[in-house]
């Protein structure tokens, strides 16, 4: 447990994230910040009143300013507009860049030693905005994308195989979007290669569904986007950091030569501990996977170049 974790954004993702952080008692105080007057205060009070029932002692408070966030250990940024039907993650680019830039600048002043976990979309570019605006080193700015994409991939595989999600080992790398790269060569079920349990056509269909996982949910909801799984992914990362678990999770990290790439955020296997990003793990990829990762990197660089900070 740390002293304080701040969640920026009191929408569906932010509020669900704050609740999960509190229920896991990752921090003594959980601060939820949002510009909407009364919303973080009301949701925070409602969440705190669930504490006697759920049995957690983490105090949840809501606020419209950053004074209460002072000296946060971890800050999870979910602020920004959500996707609507027909919108791509890149459609959110300019609006959310301004929001994330402002938030990151304020967090850097109030919590200069915090570790940032970015959830706002388009994810990889928003990580870049947060790192530049905050001035934090790459070890303390990490994006939540691969954890979510991998969860979707594992969930679809478990459904198709009629087995427990716990037995699916998998990892999805690359940008958080249509070019993400599920690593089929590293996908297994209790150590059994997935290619021995599933034909390639079925596997390819699951890979496609994984890439469109967020859009599928947006299409159903019509007025919003996913929040249960994204919040779970962000909190898994926060838990690994707070408890110094040294978990190896697929996260967006600022590459400086790893995988032959430099100066961009991209989903790669990351070891997370008390210092944030402890290490980037480089694994051997097949020729197809290397090509797909390179294509994914190109898809991230294009919107990055359009950002003016």
Q: CA–CA separation, 88 vs 177, rounded Å?
A: 9
The reply to whether 176 belongs to the active site is: yes
Inter-residue contact 262 to 256 (CB < 8 Å): yes
Q: CA–CA separation, 85 vs 224, rounded Å?
A: 8
Non-local CB neighbours of 31 within 8 Å, separated by 6+ positions: 4, 5, 6, 7, 61, 62, 63, 68, 69, 72
Q: CA–CA separation, 54 vs 202, rounded Å?
A: 41
Tokens of residue 18, six digits: 């704050």
Residue among 20, 152, 176, 211 flagged as catalytic: 176
Residue 259: left (phi > 0), alpha (psi -120 to 50), or beta? left
Inter-residue contact 235 to 245 (CB < 8 Å): no
Neighbours of 142 (CB within 10 A): 26
Q: CA–CA separation, 59 vs 29, rounded Å?
A: 5
Q: Which helix (H) or strand (E) holds 290?
A: helix 287-306
Q: Across the chain, where does the E strand assignment appear?
A: 2-8, 27-33, 59-63, 74-77, 115-118, 141-143, 168-169, 172-173, 181-182, 188-189, 192-193, 247-256, 262-273, 276-280
Q: For tokens 């926060």, name the residue.
A: 238
Tokens of residue 10, six digits: 């009191």
Give catalytic residue positions.
176
């Amino acid at each position: 447990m740390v002293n304080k974790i701040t969640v920026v954004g009191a929408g569906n993702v932010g509020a669900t994230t704050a609740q999960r952080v509190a229920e896991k008692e990752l921090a003594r105080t959980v601060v939820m910040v949002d510009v909407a007057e009364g919303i973080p205060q009301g949701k925070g009070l409602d969440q705190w009143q669930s504490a006697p029932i759920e049995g957690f002692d983490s105090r949840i408070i809501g606020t419209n300013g950053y004074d209460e966030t002072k000296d946060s250990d971890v800050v999870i940024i979910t602020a920004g507009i959500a996707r609507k039907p027909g919108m791509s993650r890149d459609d959110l680019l300019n609006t959310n860049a301004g929001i994330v830039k402002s938030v990151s600048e304020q967090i850097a002043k109030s919590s200069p030693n915090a570790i940032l976990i970015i959830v706002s979309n388009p994810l990889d570019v928003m990580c870049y905005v947060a790192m530049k605006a905050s001035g934090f080193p790459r070890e303390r700015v990490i994006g939540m994308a691969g954890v979510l994409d991998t969860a979707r991939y594992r969930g679809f595989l478990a459904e198709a195989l009629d087995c427990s999600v716990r037995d699916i080992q998998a990892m999805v790398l690359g940008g958080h979007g249509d070019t993400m790269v599920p690593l089929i060569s590293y996908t297994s079920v209790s150590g059994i290669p997935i290619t021995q349990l599933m034909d390639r056509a079925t596997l390819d269909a699951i890979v496609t569904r994984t890439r469109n996982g967020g859009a599928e949910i947006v299409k159903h909801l019509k007025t919003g986007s996913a929040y249960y799984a994204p919040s779970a992914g962000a909190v898994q990362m926060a838990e690994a950091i707070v408890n110094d678990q040294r978990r190896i999770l697929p996260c967006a990290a600022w590459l400086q030569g790893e995988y032959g790439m430099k100066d961009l955020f991209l989903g790669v296997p990351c070891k997370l501990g008390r210092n944030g990003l402890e290490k980037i793990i480089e694994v051997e990829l097949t020729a197809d996977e290397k090509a797909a990762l390179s294509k994914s990197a190109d898809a991230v660089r294009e919107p990055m170049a359009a950002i003016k900070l």
